């Protein structure tokens, strides 16, 4: 990347963020509490959060599934798209992350719509299928990157025609171009599954981050 572009991309991202992300005590509080509690700083960016919210709004999502809660930062964006009687279920392996998330979600006034469930997403997803829950209108995948191919299969089993499946970290700083480890290979496999699945209409969008990453967006075409 030229030095010009390296400098310009974060400035463009900040320009968009300043325009579309006015001061927001709930989101800022969630970031502060997450930092104070020692959670890793690996949330979606404000612009990506806003994109998640917008996609959920456009989809008219009433039932949202999130895989990988951390401190509930992306959860707050997604839950804000829900109607009053909508619901979001977020799956999180780490008990402490889930605790911080519950507090952040309550401070954002969204506790009536959001459930954070603790456990390995693989087991929790299998249990949801087993229970025969109603399909989700939107699933956001953002947990361990090696699990993405499996999470996609579960997400599709929990979807209906028209459901959206979104995934963070689809570009991995550009490493998907030449994967050097299993985790990035899984991301590449995930993207390829989206591209070749005839049940899906999909795309990966690059996003400016610290460096660059991307979001995968897929719509389920047929049951």
169 binds ligand DHB (CB under 6 A): yes
Stretch that binds ligand SAH, among 18-26, 56-64, 86-94, 194-202 (CB under 6 A): 86-94
Residue 66 interacting with ligand DHB (CB under 6 A): no
What order do you get walking across the sheet with 138-141 strand by strand? 114-118, 87-92, 63-67, 138-141, 164-168, 211-220, 200-209
How many residues are present in the chain? 223
Number of residues that bind ligand SAH (CB under 6 A): 19
Residue 92 interacts with Mg ion (CB under 5 A): yes or no: no
What does the block give as tokens for 221?
Answer: 């075409």
Report whether 111 contacts 102 (CB < 8 A): yes
Q: Which of 140, 127, 181, 139 is nearest to 48 (CA)?
A: 140
Q: Is 168 in the site for ligand DHB (CB under 6 A)?
A: yes
To ligand DHB, the closest distance from the beta carbon of 3 in angstroms equals 25
Give the whole-angstrom CA distance, residue 75 versus residue 56. Answer: 12
When binding is defined by CB under 5 A, the residue of 78, 113, 168, 170 that contacts Mg ion is 168
Find the binding residues for ligand SAH in span 112-141 (CB under 6 A): 120-121
What residue number has its CB nearest to ligand DHB? Answer: 42
């Amino acid at each position: 990347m030229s030095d010009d572009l390296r400098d310009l991309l974060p400035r463009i991202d900040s320009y968009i963020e300043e325009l579309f992300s006015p001061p927001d005590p709930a989101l800022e509080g969630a970031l502060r509490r997450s930092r104070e509690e020692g959670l890793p700083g690996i949330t979606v960016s404000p612009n990506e959060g806003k994109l998640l919210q917008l996609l959920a709004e456009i989809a008219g999502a009433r039932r949202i599934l999130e895989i990988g809660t951390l401190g509930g930062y992306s959860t707050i964006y997604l839950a804000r798209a829900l109607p009053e009687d909508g619901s979001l279920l977020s799956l999180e392996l780490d008990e402490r992350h889930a605790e911080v998330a519950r507090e952040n979600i309550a401070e954002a006034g969204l506790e009536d719509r959001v459930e954070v469930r603790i456990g390995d997403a693989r087991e929790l997803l299998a249990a949801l299928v087993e229970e025969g829950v109603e399909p989700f209108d939107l699933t956001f995948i953002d947990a361990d990157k090696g699990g993405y191919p499996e999470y996609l299969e579960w997400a599709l089993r929990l979807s209906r025609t028209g459901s959206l499946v979104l995934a963070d970290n689809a570009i991995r700083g550009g490493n998907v171009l030449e994967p050097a480890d299993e985790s990035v290979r899984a991301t590449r496999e995930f993207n390829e599954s989206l591209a070749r699945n005839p049940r899906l209409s999909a795309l990966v969008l690059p996003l400016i981050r610290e460096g660059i990453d991307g979001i995968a967006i897929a719509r389920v075409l047929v049951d």
